[in-house]
C-alpha cells in the first residue's frame, strides 16, 4: 500500500514537474510583461495613396527647408550627411545632379537627391534613395528610382522603373515600357504609355495611351424588369438575386441591382442602372453602360467603348477594352483586382489598383 | 489495453484540465490503476474487441491475482470482491468488473447507447478540431481574400453610424470625437449616439457634442422600453433613411479610414453585412486581458478571415461592422428578443441570400473585461444568445437552397459552437461512466482519440494553433508564451457556457424572459 502511494505521488510529482516546465515560459512572460502592449492600430492611416508622399514631404521640410532656400538663392550644388548617416545631394541651378565617377561606374546613386528647381536625371542610373524636387522631374532612359516627389510634374524616360512610390503635385507621365511598382499618384493626371506595368495609380484622371472619347449611350432600348429575369430567386432588398447566370440581352435597359450566383453577361449597348455582381464572373459586351459597381467573384471582361460608372472589383483579373471609360470626373471610382489589363485609349477617374500586376496594352 | 488507455488518459485529461468531477471519480480507485497496469501487458485481442467480457490468460492472471490480492481487503474496499486463492481464476477486481456484467440485457443496451453517443461526440469534436486546423493553415498558407479593401475612391453611399451607449460617460465622448474626424464625405455621414436609458452623464455629454455639431450628430435618447442593444437599435432604426448602417460600441475608437473601409463592401449588392476586426487596447492590465487578447487574435485574425477566404460564413459581430438597411428590412429588421443580435442578424441575412464580409484590416480598439466575473457574465450572454440563434435558425440554414454544402456545414458548426462546452462535459461524464460500467471494450482504442480531441476542443491544440498562427501573422511573438495559460480561460468559458446553456433551457421551460447584461467599462475617459 505504501509503495502504491509512493508511486502515485511520484507519478503526480513527475506530471506536475513536466507541466510546470512547460508553463515556465508562460509564467515568465506573465510576470515580465515583455509583450503586453496592445496591437498597433494606426488610427491616422486612412489608406490614402499619398500617405508616403506626405510623410516624405514633411521630412524634407523639416530636414532640408533651409538648404533648399539657400539653393534657390545661390544655385550651388551641395552635399551633406544627415544625423542618421544618410548622404544627400542638392542639385545646382542647372537641375542636373552632380554624379560622381564612382557612381557612374557603379550605375547607382546612393545619395538622396534634391532639387530646388526642375531636375533632369541622367540615363541608366539607379537612384537608391528618394528624389525630391520643388520643380518638375524629368527622368532619363532606363532610370530606376526608389521614390519620386515633385511639387510640379514628373515625366519618366523610356523603360524606367519606380520601385516604391511616386507623387506629383501636377501631372505624371510614363514613357512606354516603364514599370511602376508601388503607388503612383498625381494631383492632376497620370498618363501611361503602351506596355507600362503598374500596381496602384491614383489621380483625378488617368489616361492609358491617349484616353477615351466620350462614349455615347444608345437610344431606343427595350426595358426589362429585374424580377422577370430567368431564375430570379429573390427580389427583396432592392436587388434581384438569381440562382445561376444572368444574361441581359443587347440594347436592353434594366434598373436595380443584380446578383447572380453564376456569371453575368451584359449585352451589347445594354444599360444597367444599379450595381452588378457575378459570383463566377462578369462579361460586359461592347458599348454597354453600367451606372453602378461591377463586382466579380472571378474575372471581369469589359469590351471596348463601354462605360462603368461605379467601382470595378474582381477577385481574379479585369480586362478593359479600347475606348472604355471608368468612372467620371464628378464620380471618380476604383478599379481593383489581382491583375488588370487595360487597352490603349482608356480613361479612368480615381484609382486603378492591381494587387499583383497591371499592364497597359500595346495595340 | 483499451481500459488502461481509458484510465490513464482520462485521468491525464482530468488533471490537465482541472476537471474536479473526473479527478474525484478517478482518485477513488487506485486499485483499478494497479489492475490496469497489469492489463497493460495483456494481448490487445483480449483487452479490446468483442462485447463479451474476456478473461486474462493464466500466466497473466496469476500475477494479477498476486498484485491485487495483496492490496485488497473487504474491510477497506467494501465493494470489492476478495481475491481468489485459485490461480486459474481471474483476479478479484477483474472479476468484479468483467466477469459480472453490470446488469441484464437492458443495462447492456444503455451502455451501448452511451458508447455510441460518445462516439458521436468524438466525431463532432474531431470535426471542430479539423476545422480549427484548416482555418489556421489557410491563414498561414492559403489565398487571402480582401476584395473590397482597395476601394478608396467612389461615389460613397449615405451612412448612419449608431453608437450603442448605456451608461457610457467614461468613453462616449472619445468615440464620437473619433467619428467626427473620419475620412468620409461629411454630408453623407450621420452619427447617431443611441443613448439607451443611461442613468449617468451620457445624455448630457451627447447633447453637448450634438450642440456643437448639429448637422453631423443626431442623438437618439431612449428613456423606456425593452432593455438591450438590439431593442435600442431597433427603436433608433425607425428614423434612419441611409443606405448603410454601421454600429459601434461606445468604447470603440475608430481610425480615420475605418468608415470607408467598412462601407466599401456594400458596393457588392450581395453583401448584407460587414465586420471589422476588434483589437483589445487594455491588453496589459492583467492576465485575463492578456488571455482575452490572444483569444481575440485567434478569433479574428485566423478564424474570421479564414472563413472569409474560404467563402464560408464570416460572422457579423455587432460592433465595428454594419448592415445594409434594405437587406436588414428584407429579413425583418433588428429583433429585440435576441440576446446576441449580431449572430441573429448574420443568420437571417445568410438564409435570405445576403453575405457577410469580414475585413481583417479594418481594425478598431475595444475594451475587454478586466475581471473574471465580468468575463463570465459576458461569455454567458454570448452563449445564451448564440444558442438561442441556433434553436431559431438551424433548420432554415440547413434547408436554404442558396447555400452550398460547405456553407451549410460551416454555418451549422458556427451555430453550434457554444453548445460544445456542455457536450464536452457530457462526453467526460460518459467516458467515466462507461469506464465503470465496463463499456470501455465498446470504445476500444478510440478512447485515446476521445481524450486528445476533448483536450483539443478545450482549446489547446487546434484553437491554440489558431492563436499561435494569429500571433505570427500579427508579428507579436512574445505573447505566444502565454498560450498554455489560456487553458484556464477556456475552462472558465466552458463553465460559464455550460451554465448559460442550462439557464437557457430553464428560461424556455419556465417561459422566463431573456435578460440582457451590459458589459462593464473600465476606461476613465479622454482615451485613458
Measure CB to CB from residue A30 to each of B331, B476, B482 and give the nearest one.
B482
Using a CB-CB distance cutoff of 8 angstroms, which residues of chain B are in contact with residue A280?
Answer: none
User: Which of B33, B284, B483 lies closest to A33 in CB terms?
Assistant: B284
* Nearest-by-CA chain B residue for A244: B402
Nearest to B147 among A243, A258, A313 (CB): A313
Kindly report, residue by residue over A155-173, the tens digit of the pLDDT: 999 999 999 999 999 999 9
ipTM tops 0.85: yes
Q: Please judge whether B30 and A36 are an interchain contact, meaning their C-beta atoms are less than 8 angstroms apart.
A: no
Nearest CA in chain B to A203: B153
Cβ contacts from A onto B, under 8 A: 180
Asked if the structure places residue B250 within a domain, the reply is no
The verdict on a CB contact (< 8 Å) between A38 and B34 is no
Based on the structure, what is the number of domains in chain B? Answer: 1
**What pLDDT is attached to residue B80?**
38
Contacts A13 to B, Cβ<8 Å: none
Among B152, B178, B243, B266, pick the best mutation site for testing chain A contact (most A Cβ within 10 A): B152
Q: In what order do the strands lie in the sheet with B189-196?
A: B220-222, B189-196, B159-165, B244-249, B321-324, B271-280, B355-366, B253-254
- Give the Å distances, CA to CA, from B50 to A286, A362, B61, B99, B440: 73, 76, 20, 14, 11
Is A291:A308 a contact under the CB 8 Å cutoff? Answer: no
Beta bridge partners of B160: B190, B245
Please judge whether A47 and B152 are an interchain contact, meaning their C-beta atoms are less than 8 angstroms apart: yes
B504 lies in some domain: no
Write out residues in chain B with pLDDT < 70, as ranges: 1-107, 439-461, 512-528
Which pLDDT belongs to residue A167? 95
Q: 3-class SS at B253?
A: strand
Quote the domain boundaries for residue B27: 2-49+54-100
**Residues A39, B270: C-beta atoms closer than 8 Å:** no
What is residue B518's three-state secondary structure? coil
Q: Is B214 helix (H, G, I), strand (E, B) or coil?
A: coil
Q: Over chain A, what HEC string results?
A: CHHHHHHHHHHHHHHHHHHHHHHHHHHHHHHHCCCCCCCCCCCCCCCCCCHHHHHHHHHHHHHHHHHHHHHHHHCCCEEEECCCCCEEEECCCCCCCCCCHHHHHHCEECCEEEECCCEECCCCCEECCCEEECCCEECCCCCEEEEEEECCCEECCCCCEEEEEEEECCEEEECCCCEEEEEEEECCEEEECCCCEEEEEEEEEEEECCCCCCCCCCCCCEEECHHHCCCEEECHHHEEEECCCEEECCCEEEECEEEECCEEEECCCCEEECCEEECCEEEECCCCEECCCEEECCEEEECCCCEECCCEEECCEEEECCCCEECECCECEEEEEEEEEECCCEEEEEEEEEEEEEEECCC
pLDDT of residue B125: 84
pLDDT digit string, tens, across residues B352-398: 999 999 999 998 888 889 999 999 988 998 898 899 899 999 999 99
* DSSP label of B57: P
Domain boundaries, chain A: 51-187, 222-360
pLDDT value of residue B79: 41
DSSP code, position B79 = T
State which residue of chain A sits closest to B72, comparing Cα positions.
A1
Q: Is residue B73 part of a domain?
A: yes
Task: Determine, for residues B484 and A26 on separate chains, whether the beta-carbon distance falls below 8 Å.
Answer: yes
pLDDT of residue B451: 61
Of B453, B437, B389, the closest CA to residue B416 belongs to B389
- DSSP single-letter state for residue B501: H
- Whether B261 sits inside 8 A of A43 (CB atoms) is no
Give the orientation angle of helix B446-457 with respect to helix B420-437, to 10 degrees. 150
Chain B residues near residue A310 by CB distance under 8 angstroms: 154-155, 267
Instruction: Report the C-alpha gap between A35 and A52 in whole angstroms.
Output: 28
Angle at which helix A2-32 crosses helix B2-17, to 10 degrees, equals 40
| Nearest residue in B to A204, CA atom | B153
Interface test with B, best of A12, A32, A39 (most B CBs within 10 A): A39
Q: Provide CB contacts within 8 A for A7, sequence distance 6+.
A: none
In chain A, the N- to C-terminal Cα span, in Å, equals: 93
What is the reported pLDDT for B32?
34
- Residue B60 lies inside a defined structural domain of this protein: yes
Contacts of B256 in chain A (CB under 8 A): 43-46
Chain A residue at shortest CA distance from B153: A333
CB atoms within 10 A of CB A9: 10
Put simply, the answer to whether B253 touches A43 (Cβ < 8 Å) is: yes
Interface contact B326-A238, CB threshold 8 A = yes
Q: Contact B151/A334, CB-based, under 8 Å?
A: yes
Report CB contact under 8 Å: B481, A45.
no
Which residues in chain A are contacts of B472 at CB distance < 8 A?
none
CB contact under 8 A, A351 and B152: yes
DSSP state for residue B521 in the 8-state scheme: P
Grid cell digits, residue A90: 542638392
CA distances A23 to B120, B127, B248, B481, B485, Å, are 33, 28, 38, 9, 7
Helix (H, G, I), strand (E, B) or coil at B83: coil
Give A304 to chain B, closest Cα distance, Å. Answer: 22
On chain A, the residues whose CB falls within 8 A of the CB of B276 are: none
Q: Within chain A, which residues score under 70 in pLDDT?
A: 1, 43-47, 211-212, 214-215, 363
What pLDDT, on the 0 to 100 scale, is given for residue B27? 32
Q: Which three cell numbers stand for residue B51?
A: 462485447
**Interchain proximity B479–A336, CB inside 8 Å:** no
User: Does B67 fall in a domain?
Assistant: yes
- Calculate how close chain A gets to B475, using CA atoms only, in Å: 9
Nearest to A333 among B154, B269, B281 (CB): B154
Tell me how far apart the alpha carbons of residues A223 and A103 are, in angstroms, rounded to a whole number.
Answer: 67
Amino acid at each position: 500500500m505504501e509503495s502504491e502511494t509512493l508511486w502515485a505521488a511520484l507519478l503526480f510529482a513527475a506530471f506536475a514537474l513536466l507541466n510546470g516546465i512547460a508553463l515556465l515560459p508562460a509564467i515568465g512572460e506573465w510576470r515580465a510583461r515583455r509583450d503586453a502592449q496592445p496591437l498597433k492600430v494606426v488610427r491616422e492611416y486612412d489608406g490614402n495613396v499619398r500617405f508616403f508622399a506626405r510623410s516624405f514631404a514633411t521630412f524634407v521640410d523639416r530636414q532640408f527647408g533651409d538648404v533648399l532656400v539657400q539653393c534657390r538663392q545661390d544655385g550651388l550644388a551641395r552635399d551633406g550627411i544627415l544625423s542618421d548617416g544618410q548622404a544627400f545631394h542638392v542639385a545646382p541651378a542647372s537641375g542636373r545632379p552632380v554624379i560622381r565617377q564612382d557612381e557612374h561606374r557603379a550605375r547607382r546613386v546612393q545619395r538622396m537627391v534634391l532639387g530646388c528647381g526642375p531636375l533632369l536625371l541622367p540615363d541608366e542610373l539607379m537612384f537608391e534613395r528618394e528624389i525630391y524636387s520643388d520643380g518638375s522631374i524629368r527622368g532619363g532612359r532606363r532610370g530606376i528610382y526608389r521614390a519620386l516627389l515633385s511639387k510640379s510634374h514628373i515625366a519618366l524616360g523610356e523603360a524606367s522603373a519606380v520601385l516604391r512610390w511616386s507623387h506629383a503635385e501636377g501631372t505624371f507621365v510614363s514613357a512606354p515600357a516603364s514599370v511602376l511598382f508601388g503607388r503612383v499618384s498625381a494631383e492632376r493626371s497620370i498618363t501611361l504609355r503602351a506596355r507600362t506595368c503598374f500596381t496602384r495609380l491614383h489621380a483625378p484622371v488617368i489616361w492609358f495611351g491617349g484616353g477615351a472619347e466620350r462614349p455615347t449611350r444608345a437610344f431606343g432600348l427595350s426595358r426589362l424588369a429585374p424580377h422577370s429575369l430567368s431564375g430570379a430567386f429573390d427580389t427583396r432588398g432592392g436587388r434581384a438575386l438569381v440562382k445561376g447566370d444572368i444574361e441581359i440581352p443587347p440594347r436592353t435597359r434594366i434598373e436595380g441591382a443584380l446578383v447572380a450566383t453564376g456569371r453575368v453577361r451584359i449585352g451589347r449597348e445594354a444599360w444597367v442602372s444599379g450595381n452588378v455582381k457575378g459570383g463566377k464572373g462578369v462579361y460586359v459586351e461592347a458599348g454597354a453602360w453600367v451606372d453602378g459597381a461591377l463586382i466579380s467573384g472571378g474575372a471581369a471582361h469589359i469590351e471596348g467603348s463601354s462605360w462603368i460608372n461605379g467601382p470595378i472589383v474582381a477577385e481574379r483579373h479585369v480586362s478593359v477594352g479600347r475606348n472604355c471609360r471608368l468612372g467620371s470626373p464628378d464620380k471618380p471610382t476604383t478599379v481593383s483586382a489581382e491583375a488588370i489589363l487595360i487597352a490603349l485609349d482608356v480613361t479612368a477617374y480615381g484609382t486603378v489598383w492591381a494587387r499583383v500586376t497591371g499592364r497597359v496594352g500595346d495595340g | 489495453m483499451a481500459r488502461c488507455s481509458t484510465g490513464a488518459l482520462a485521468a491525464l485529461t482530468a488533471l490537465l484540465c482541472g476537471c474536479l468531477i473526473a479527478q474525484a471519480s478517478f482518485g477513488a480507485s487506485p486499485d483499478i490503476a494497479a489492475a490496469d497496469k497489469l492489463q497493460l501487458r495483456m494481448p490487445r485481442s483480449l483487452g479490446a474487441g468483442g462485447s463479451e467480457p474476456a478473461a486474462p490468460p493464466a500466466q497473466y492472471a496469476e500475477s494479477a491475482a498476486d498484485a491485487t490480492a495483496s492490496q485488497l481487503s473487504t474491510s477497506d474496499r467494501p465493494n470489492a470482491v476478495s481475491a481468489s486463492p485459485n490461480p486459474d481464476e481471474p483476479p478479484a477486481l477483474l472479476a468484479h468488473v468483467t466477469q459480472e456484467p453490470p446488469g441484464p440485457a437492458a443495462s447492456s443496451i444503455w451502455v451501448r447507447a452511451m458508447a455510441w453517443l460518445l462516439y458521436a461526440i468524438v466525431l463532432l469534436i474531431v470535426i471542430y478540431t479539423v476545422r480549427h486546423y484548416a482555418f489556421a493553415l489557410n491563414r498561414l498558407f492559403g489565398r487571402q481574400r480582401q476584395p473590397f479593401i482597395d476601394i478608396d475612391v467612389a461615389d460613397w453611399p449615405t451612412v448612419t453610424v449608431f453608437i450603442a451607449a448605456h451608461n457610457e460617460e467614461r468613453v462616449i465622448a472619445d468615440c464620437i470625437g473619433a467619428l467626427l474626424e473620419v475620412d468620409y464625405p461629411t454630408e453623407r455621414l450621420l452619427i447617431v449616439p443611441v443613448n439607451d436609458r443611461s442613468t449617468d452623464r451620457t445624455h448630457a455629454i451627447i447633447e453637448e457634442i450634438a450642440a456643437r455639431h448639429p448637422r453631423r450628430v443626431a442623438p437618439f435618447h431612449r428613456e423606456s422600453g425593452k432593455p438591450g442593444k438590439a431593442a435600442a437599435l431597433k427603436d433608433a432604426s425607425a428614423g434612419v433613411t441611409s443606405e448603410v448602417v454601421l454600429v459601434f460600441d461606445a468604447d470603440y475608437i475608430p481610425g480615420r479610414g475605418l468608415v470607408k473601409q467598412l462601407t466599401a463592401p456594400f458596393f457588392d449588392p450581395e453583401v448584407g453585412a460587414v465586420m471589422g476586426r476588434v483589437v483589445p487596447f487594455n491588453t496589459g492590465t492583467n492576465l485575463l486581458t492578456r488571455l482575452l487578447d490572444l483569444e481575440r487574435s485567434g478569433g479574428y485574425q485566423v478564424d474570421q478571415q479564414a472563413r472569409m477566404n474560404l467563402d464560408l460564413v464570416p460572422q457579423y459581430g455587432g460592433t465595428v461592422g454594419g448592415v445594409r438597411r434594405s437587406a436588414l428590412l428584407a429579413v425583418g429588421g433588428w429583433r429585440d428578443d435576441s440576446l446576441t443580435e449580431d449572430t441573429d442578424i448574420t443568420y437571417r441575412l445568410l438564409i435570405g441570400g445576403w453575405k457577410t464580409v469580414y475585413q481583417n484590416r479594418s481594425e478598431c480598439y475595444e475594451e475587454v473585461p478586466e475581471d473574471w466575473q465580468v468575463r463570465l457574465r459576458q461569455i454567458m450572454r454570448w452563449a445564451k444568445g448564440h444558442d438561442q440563434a441556433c434553436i431559431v435558425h438551424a433548420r432554415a440554414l440547413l434547408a436554404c437552397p442558396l447555400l452550398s454544402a460547405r456553407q451549410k456545414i460551416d454555418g451549422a458548426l458556427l451555430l453550434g459552437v457554444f453548445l460544445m462546452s456542455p457536450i464536452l462535459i457530457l462526453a467526460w461524464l460518459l467516458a467515466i461512466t462507461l469506464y465503470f460500467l465496463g463499456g470501455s471494450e465498446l470504445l476500444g482504442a478510440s478512447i485515446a482519440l476521445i481524450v486528445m480531441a476533448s483536450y483539443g476542443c478545450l482549446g489547446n491544440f487546434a484553437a491554440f494553433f489558431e492563436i499561435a498562427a494569429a500571433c505570427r501573422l500579427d508579428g507579436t511573438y512574445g505573447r505566444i508564451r502565454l498560450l498554455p495559460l489560456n487553458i484556464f480561460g477556456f475552462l472558465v468559458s466552458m463553465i460559464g457556457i455550460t451554465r448559460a446553456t442550462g439557464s437557457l433551457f430553464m428560461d424556455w421551460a419556465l417561459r422566463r424572459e431573456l435578460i440582457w447584461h451590459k458589459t462593464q467599462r473600465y476606461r476613465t475617459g479622454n482615451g485613458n
